[in-house]
Every structure is written in C-alpha cells, then in structure tokens.
A and B are shown apart, each in its own frame.
Chain A
C-alpha cells in the first residue's frame, strides 16, 4: 500500500476549502517521505481544470466522483472507501472542519481502520505516519501511531499551511455505487447564513462575546465596548446556535479564522473549537468569572470577574480616555 488520499471539500460554487488545500500540501510533503502519491478526492460535477488545479497544492492525482453529492458524509465515505481499496492507499487525511470528522469516522468503520482527530502535526517514523494529537484540553500531546493500514487522520483547523508549487494533477473519474443507507439522508438546504452579514475579518480590534453575556441583549455591552475602541464584535458557536448573534460573526472551527491586534473575549470559555479560530491574535484579553476557564490558558491578560460589572465601566473609561 502507498499514498495519501485527501478529501477536497468545496462550497456550492465549487470553491475548494482552504483547510482541504492545506491538507493536500501536507500530504504532498509526507508522501515525499513515505513514498506514493498525494491524491485528492472531489465529489460533484467539478470542471476538469478546477480539479487539475489541485496539482498546484501538491496533488498528483485527483479522483472525481461526479455522481456523488457534496455536503453529506456517507456518500463520500462510499467514494473514499472505494478509491482507498482499489488503489491500495495507506492514509486518508482531512483538513479541519466538520465533515471530515464524519467521513473519517465512517471510513474507520468501513475499513476497520484506526483514526486520530484534532491532529496538529503529522510526522514520519520508520516510514509510517504518526499523528500528534493534543488531548485533555491541550494539556498533553499524544503521539499516536497506526497498527495497520489504512490509517485515518482528521486534523485540527488551520493545522497545515497551503503551499503552491505549480503543476496540474491528473484527473481520474470514478464510478461509485452508493450504499443503501447513504441515500437515506438528503440535504434540504446547505450553508444557510443566519443573521446579518457582518464583517469581522478586517477589524484590528475584536470583542468576542460568548454565553457569559447571558442573553441576546447582553451583546449590547460587547457592541458598546467594541465601538469605544473602533472595533467589531465576534461570537462563539454557542451564542450563534442560540440565535443571539449572526453566524457571519462566528469565530472557530465552523466559522471564521481571525488574527486581530486585540481579541477581547467576554464570557467566552475558550473551547478548542473557538481557540483554533483566534489563537494567532496579537493580544488576547479575557474576562471570565470562572478562574479555571480554559481561555486563561492562552490569554495575555486574564480578568477574573463578572463581565456585567466590568464591561460597562471599561467602556466608559476608554471613552473618557479617548475623549480626554
């Protein structure tokens, strides 16, 4: 067996996901060390040149399953399992996100294969891949190896940088027979944008609001604070799921990745899936009433206290300072 297969996720317009492209570049690097090709799997009717362009990120081959729909995991499990078995591929690699977890898990069952997740780095030991997987709230990093092939690697958001090398990939069409249970879930609507279309990616200063704001109305505090500093307001998935704030403002694994000059987190616990979207901020300031909140593990200034007491006074003080 040889080679690494990457799932190349795309949106409804056919744009490939940046994390998938990073995973292709990583696969190209790793297959250079363990032998075999870096290949990508694309589902849906994506044009030849778009598929071939994945060669620019290091894919030697692109398997295209035209009849398989994008967006739900199980049909893609059918496609990947077929390619892995037919071509004798050694590893499947997924960029960070959500669908990769479901497809990777499905392959684990289908191929009786080992799986690692939240992987931040992959290294080669004795010609085999070993995943570096942070565990227990990132307090330790486990090196996890595979006792047999294939092995499934689901990486953490932004784990791998894209590397453009030039080149085009060979495009190979594959016919996939879907499993009966793979057609029993159907997409009614994909990628609905809930709430206003706000822009948080260009802001130098972001105030991130979490469940600690208490209610949708609590976001007023975050907005006033952001306004006093000329910044914008961002949010966690918990508050977006609750309908308190727009999805466009969400940071993290299934939201945006940002790196502002200041990220001020108010009532945000600092879950890994949030951290991966903002950990490269230049300065991180967190206000949280729980001294054990994980966010304090990666903030530059941590304030332990009730945000409802602190934030209004902070807004006033900043306004006063700017005015004076």
Chain B
C-alpha cells in the first residue's frame, strides 16, 4: 500500500509567535521547523512499513506551503519518506481550515493513498481539524488523536482517548488518521539520511495541476475572516522563585502555603 504523510512547516518552538496586524496572518519570519506532531505521523508510517503486517510500497510526504516549506519535506524524507510532494501556489496564501483541507484533499487525491497519516495539531494554528476535513473530501473513514495503531487483516485497530475514556475503533482502509504524540518516540534521522534527503524525488505542484478550484482557496476563498485581534484580559502576574538553594526555596514555598492557610 501507499502511505501519504501530511507535514507542515511551523515557526520553531523557540520563536515568539505573533500575528502581523496588517495582514492578520501569522508572521512566518524567524527559524522554522517541521511541526513536531508530524514527526510522530512519519514515525507511525515507518513502523507500519517496518512492521510487515501489510506490505508498504511507498511513504510519501505531502505539504502545502510557500517555497521555504521544502525544508519540512527534506526533514520528512530524512526521517524515512521515500519521496515528497509540494503544493505551492500564491493563490493558496491565507487559506483557512476549510480551504486548506480542501486543497490538501485535492493533492492527496492525485496520489490515491491507501492511508493518510497526519499530526493531531499544528504548533502554530492549533486547529486540530485538518484530518477530519481531508477525510470527508476524500470520502474516507477517519479518526483523530490516535495513540495506538495495529494493522490486522488489512484493517486498522486504533485507540484514542475521548470524552468518556479510551475508545478502540476498527477502521477500514483507505483511511485518514491523525496521531497523538503518545503514539511513539520518533527516531533521529541518520547523518546519511540527512545528506541524502535532497536527492530523493520532490514534485512541486500548482493548484491547476491537481484540479483545485481557485475560487475555493486563499484568503478570498476562505469562509472565515479575522475581524479583530485583542489582548487577553489582564491577569495579575504570579510570583516566581528561581531555585538556587533548594532549602531556601522550600522555606519560601512553605511560607506561601502557610500564608494562604493551605497547610
């Protein structure tokens, strides 16, 4: 089978993220990285491939994003993907979840995957929704926040936590599964894999190449609009103690607890 893994380039965790007040979009300057949740999706793909319960011919990393996003694809290939697809088009800039999910579904359609894996959330938008949007467009079953996948008789047995505890769900292929960070411990890429990543095939596609209706994407095709940005309600800053001398730190904590009659 063929597994496609959705990967996204996001600002590095160390970068203070901000919205550009002129465009109302995320300021994407500064260091960038592969969305950490997507490394778990890649690892899940590799474990299915290496597990042998079902033959996997190919793992393909897929992203939608500006030119710089090829670096996320290189990282994905270094982590084990066989090749990658980059959907890149100025017409896509400013897409909301509705437009992004539609666009990703279109590019995935052109790959006809048997399984689509993705992260449970992106580090920047934190919308948690792309998986289920993509699945409905692709007319595939889906489950999000999955922390265990077993392949059995060509079906997936998945576990995830929902409102009332842990659910075990059997999902037929083809399917779209978003994975939580508890699913695995992603491997580190080898130096050889990092060096070789740029040599693996990378297809760049524009909206027209995969049949995307230009009216449904980008800022103009989006169904939500950011009307205003406001600061959160002011909150009194808490007290901070840096632990230098632990005995002293503990004394301070006990005094704080005592003052509030908590002990």
Contacts and interface: CB of A to CB of B under 8 A. Distances in A.
> Do A and B form a real pair?
yes
B228 interface: yes
B97 interface: yes
A74 B134 CA distance: 12
Contacts of B167: 71, 187, 189-192
A222 interface: no
Interface in B83-129: 96-98, 101-102, 105, 124, 126-129
A113 interface: yes
Given A101-B132, A106-B133, A185-B143, A135 B19 contact: yes
Given A102-B144, A138-B232, A77 B126 contact: no
Given A71-B167, A115-B129, A262-B262, A313 B139 contact: no
A106 B136 contact: yes
A143 B226 contact: yes
A114 B142 contact: no
A108 B133 contact: yes
B235 interface: yes
Contact of B163 (A254, A318, A321): A254
B234 to A, nearest CB: 12
B242 interface: yes
Interface in B161-186: 161-172, 175, 180-182
A317 B252 CA distance: 11
A285 B253 contact: yes
B165 A143 contact: no
A185 B222 contact: no
Contacts of A130: 227
Given A262-B262, A305-B243, A108 B161 contact: no
A115 B182 CA distance: 27
Interface residues of A, number: 95
Given A74-B136, A229-B263, A318-B263, A310 B246 contact: yes
Interface string A283-324: 111000001000010111111111001100110011001100
B240 interface: yes
A309 B243 contact: yes
Interface of A: 9, 11-12, 17, 71-74, 77, 97-99, 101-106, 108-110, 112-118, 125, 130, 134-136, 138-148, 151, 154, 179-182, 184-194, 205, 229, 237-238, 240-242, 247, 254, 261-262, 272, 283-285, 291, 296, 298-306, 309-310, 313-314, 317-318, 321-322
Interface of B: 17-19, 96-98, 101-102, 105, 124, 126-137, 139-145, 147, 157, 161-172, 175, 180-182, 216, 222-232, 235, 238-243, 246-247, 249-251, 253-254, 256-258, 260, 262-263
Closest 3 CB pairs of A and B: A305-B243, A114-B223, A105-B132
